[in-house]
Amino acid sequence: MNEMRRFESKVALVTGGNAGIGKATALAFAREGAKVVITARREPEGVAAVKEIEAAGGVASFVRADVAVEADVVRAIEHTISKYGRLDVVFNNAGIEGKNGPIDTLTSADFDETFAVNVRGAWLVMKYALPHLAKTKGSIVNNSSVAADMGLAGTTIYAPSKGAISTLTRTAAIEFIKSGVRVNQVSPGPIETDMGARFFGSVENMRGFAKSAVPSGVPGSSADIAAAVLYLASPEAGFVVGQSLSVDGGLIAQ
């Protein structure tokens, strides 16, 4: 059991909190005392994540929401406030890898789908969370990717969507700090999750990429990202505003 309780009496909203990085971060927030609201499109996994938190002695609830749908975002925020009375932290994690490949194999519909979730979704959550976070002097952590900082062939939709998150983080950070709300982002490298495996084609492909391209030689874990998110959201990072924390085994330091 983690003895640190940096988020005692706080309320954290984790979008896409039903699997992978989102689930690991939701569990981490709960371990440190936060009441956690998980949103996701897939309800069975979301309910299972809540039960896992509750089994460990934590407090959590689930709201089915597609962050690309404005009404769903509004409902998720309203649920959080009505159930727990406040909002202190948002982890804008919901995202999809979308379609990847040579640009001439991709469609405008592929583009629209990825940007709707990865960019529009994050923007909507920030818009509707801000009034509540201003009351608590809270924090937002967005989930970007080192893909935003590299030239990776075959990612002409996904990488720009994460580049948009990086720009959104910086611009919102300057705008939101006037309300006492800090905005930062985490930028994962290759992380062993189901989404990561889909992105690379398989876990084996990801491990092969990490062995050849990542200085640490291995992919990271969801727990690595969760730890970074909790730091950025915590009082320890109180003077950290508009920053990107790359958790990538040294990939973009090269």
Give the C-alpha separation, 247 to 48, whole Å: 27
Q: Which parts of 140-252 fold into alpha helices (H)?
A: 158-176, 194-200, 203-213, 222-233
The DSSP string of 161-184 is: HHHHHHHHHHHHHHHHGGGT-EEE
Say which residues have a Cβ less than 8 Å from residue 65's Cβ, sequence separation at least 6. 15, 39, 40, 41, 72, 73, 75, 76
Establish whether 158 is a catalytic residue.
yes
Residue of 84, 128, 158, 231 marked active site:
158
Query: Do residues 251 and 149 lie in contact, with contact meaning Cβ atoms separated by under 8 Å?
Result: no
List residues with catalytic annotation. 158
